[in-house]
Amino acid sequence: MSKNKSSESVKVVVRCRPPSRKEESNGPAGTIVQMDLRLGQVILKNPRAPPSEPQKTFTFDAVYDANSKQRDLYDESVRPLIDSVLAGFNGTIFAYGQTGTGKTYTMQGAWLDPEKRGVIPNAFDHIFTHISRSQSDKQYLVRASYLEIYLEEIRDLLDPNHGIARGLELRESPDTGVYVQDLTSCVCKSIKEIEEVMNVGNQARAVGATDMNEHSSRSHALFLITVECSQPGPDGRKHIRVGRLNLVDLAGSERQTKTGVQGERLKEAAKINLSLSALGNVISALADGRSGHVPYRDSKLTRLLQDSLGGNAKTVMVATLGPASLHYDETLTTLRYANRAKNIQNQPRVNEDPKDALLREFQMEIARLRAQLNHRKWRSKQKKEPVDGEGWERDEMDGEEDEVEKEAEEYVKLEEQRLEREKEAIRDDQYLLAEEKQRLLGEKEKMMGDLRMEQQAAEQLTAKYKAMESKLLVGGKNIIDHTNEQQKILEMKRQEIAEQTRSEREMQQRMMVQDEETLELRDTFTSLQQEVEAKTKKLKKLYNKLQTIKGEIKDVNDEHVRNRQELEQTQNELTRELKFKYLIIENFIPPEEKNKIMNRLTFDQEEDQWKYQPLVPAESKSSQMKKRPTSAVGYKRPISQYARVAIAMGAHSRYRAENIMFLELDVTPPNTSLDRSAGADPNQSPSLDNSPTKEKGVRKSRSCPSSVSN
């Protein structure tokens, strides 16, 4: 099997959605996008420009207007890519465009309506239908994963705890390229199972409402399908080819003035625009061809798409547009990005016999279990036919699992009956001693137990074998209900029509280019006046091209100014929110607590974000314990800082700043001593001196009973 090492450009198609209800309610402003389906051209009209300004024309591999069907886009532009993935190539399909232009509809569509099913469900049907129609000597293993990039953090949408789990990390391998570590992968055996995986992930995906889209995607979603195929080669050995399909649904670029997002939605929009800007820089660097450095590491999105843009993959980019004049600037930006992406060259090759093929591990495990089952079958036959000297020949295992189970059950029943007969014979034998009978009966019981254990082990082995083999899909078997011959012929005819349409469009585009180049060579002039007229016409044409290029330069500068103003506005919003949080920190968080938090912050260079250090180092968590606070001098137990301050300030410290007098009513102790003074007045009461003292503030003083001396 030869590997294709030739380069291939990224295939770019453009699709324009119909006007929305909100756009129709604003009035008949007219569409600014016109499409020539035959030539694959998009003509964009500037609503603010004078009528004399020429319109902008872009040429792509295919274009689809508002009346196009989902099936047409899939058959013409996506089906050849899926066929390449089934042949062992890497493939990527991603939708790019402004928010609310139909990217999610193009990729997913309406699952229940066959006419409105998007690229992803049609790809599911294509893959499993191809497997069901393939030859019986091929084995397939299909795996699916689902992830999203939310706020520049990779989250596994198939993880039940993805909301609280920490983000996954990107790794790079020389064999497989960039991959996500610890990403959940589900083995799928039918269309229903892979659709269920997709639905589980969609329920966990981050979406939100904006002024432009009620169900706006707030994250970039990537659905990854791995198809492994095992097929005998010319050398008689089984060779494995692995095709990887990346189905990418990007979040749309947003302008804060149009979407009206604030708070958390504003942060999401800033991260989305940052990653899309990094994607645009990568496309520009690859399309330029003169830049030695491609900034893949500026964003996690571009790192995941590294093979898809300029690497080992076949890529289809679907650029989505809106027809309203309100979004002229965003539509022009999308068309320019798509036009640059046409110049990117990939180097796709077949992934043959990779080291990380899971199908080979499954085949080795199935072969081991099959050998154990065959060995048990051989033992059962040997025990049933001890006299027969014929050798056991290895049979084909297809459909023999039931036979093995029946033979095993029959063998166990016969052995149980034989042991029961032997036990009865031992009990009826009068010449054996009682101890000898007990010993022989115990041996028979042990043999019965061993027989049952062997039967259980065989059942477990058979169940494990069937579970492993059920994960593999074999060509020629009924994965889904096979279509009849008329449906097969209809699909083949539809594919031929799509291929013919694509070839005609490419031929017409080449003819237009050749006509422009050879027009001057074919012209012959009979007079100077005719030559002057032809040269004047050509000069006007070149002058119009010059004016168009000047207009392009002006538009690029205006777009740069608008993007700068938009970024400045976003920066001002984020700065205002940051100042508000700083104000809260300065006024409500004690300085010592703030210093503790700041001391725990560290910057992670790989993930480009700040992180908290643990209070106790990870390596010493198990070996070290936090020290117990030292006891205060003179006290048996540790006391808190608050208690120490209270002791130093004295009793009732909370009332000191409020200038409150706290009076305690003390009862005078009874006078039990005899009154030695005859002139003492027994009814005299103790006097209270309530005069304040300078040292202790407001205090009550108690005087002792006075005595009168002669």
Q: What is the pLDDT of residue 411?
A: 65
Residues 84 and 143: their CA atoms lie apart, in Å, by: 17
Q: In the structure, what pLDDT confidence band is assigned to residue 281 with cuts at 50, 70 and 90?
A: confident
The predicted model gives 570-597 an average pLDDT of: 88
Residues 703 and 36: their CA atoms lie apart, in Å, by: 112
End-to-end alpha-carbon separation of the chain, Å? 135
Parallel, antiparallel or unpaired: strands 238-249 and 90-97: parallel
Burial zone of 255 (CB within 10 Å; 0-12 exposed, 13-18 middle, 19+ buried):
buried
Q: Which of 328-337, 610-619, 643-652 has the highest mean pLDDT?
A: 328-337
Higher pLDDT: 188 or 231? It is: 188
Q: What is the pLDDT of residue 650?
A: 66
Question: CA dist 682 to 170, 580, 686, 704, Å?
Answer: 97, 74, 11, 14
Q: Which helix (H) or strand (E) holds 456?
A: helix 434-470
| pLDDT tens string 405-428 | 566 666 667 777 777 777 777 767
3-class state of residue 288 by DSSP: helix
Higher pLDDT: 265 or 631? It is: 265
Nearest C-alpha neighbor of 559 from the set 331, 359, 343: 331
Of all residues in the chain, what percent carry a pLDDT higher than 70? Answer: 66
Neighbours of 296 (CB within 10 A): 21
| pLDDT tens string 179-217 | 898 899 999 989 999 999 999 988 888 766 565 556 667
Residues 220 and 147: beta-carbon distance below 8 Å: no
Higher pLDDT: 302 or 623? It is: 302
Residues 676 and 663: beta-carbon distance below 8 Å: no
| pLDDT tens string 598-616 | 888 888 776 667 887 877 6
| pLDDT tens string 528-575 | 888 888 888 888 888 888 888 887 888 788 878 887 887 788 789 889
Q: What is the pLDDT of residue 664?
A: 55
Residues 689 and 703: their CA atoms lie apart, in Å, by: 7
Q: What is the pLDDT of residue 398?
A: 45
Higher pLDDT: 483 or 15? It is: 15
- Tally of residues, the chain: 710
| pLDDT tens string 462-484 | 666 566 555 556 555 444 444 44
Q: What is the pLDDT of residue 60?
A: 93
Q: What is the pLDDT of residue 247?
A: 93
Q: What is the CA radius of gyration of the chain?
A: 42
* Binding-site annotation, residues: 97-104
Neighbours of 446 (CB within 10 A): 10
Residues 4 and 159: their CA atoms lie apart, in Å, by: 37
Distance between alpha carbon 679 and the CA centroid of its chain, in Å? 103
Q: Which of 222-231, 284-293, 415-424, 685-694 has the highest mean pLDDT?
A: 222-231
Q: In the structure, what pLDDT confidence band is assigned to residue 338 with cuts at 50, 70 and 90?
A: very high
Residues 212 and 259: beta-carbon distance below 8 Å: yes
The predicted model gives 508-514 an average pLDDT of: 74
Given a cut of 70, whether residue 356 has pLDDT beyond it is no
3-class state of residue 511 by DSSP: helix
Given a cut of 70, whether residue 118 has pLDDT beyond it is yes
Given a cut of 70, whether residue 161 has pLDDT beyond it is yes
| pLDDT tens string 294-334 | 888 888 999 998 888 888 899 999 999 988 888 888 898 89
Q: What is the pLDDT of residue 318?
A: 94
Given a cut of 90, whether residue 78 has pLDDT beyond it is yes
Residues 77 and 315: their CA atoms lie apart, in Å, by: 11
Of all residues in the chain, what percent carry a pLDDT higher than 90? Answer: 16
Instruction: Work out the mean pLDDT of the chain and round it to a whole number.
Output: 75
Out of 145-149, 603-607, 693-697, which region has the weakest mean confidence (pLDDT)? 693-697
Contacts (Cβ under 8 Å, ≥6 apart) of 540: none
Q: What is the pLDDT of residue 653?
A: 52
Parallel, antiparallel or unpaired: strands 33-36 and 41-44: antiparallel
Q: Which of 166-180, 368-382, 647-661 has the highest mean pLDDT?
A: 166-180
* Binding-site annotation, residues for ATP: 97-104
SS3 content of the chain, % helix, strand, coil (to 5): 45, 15, 35
Q: What is the pLDDT of residue 486?
A: 60
Give the residues across from 145 on adjacent strands. Answer: 224
Which pair of structure tokens corresponds to residue 529?
């006046």
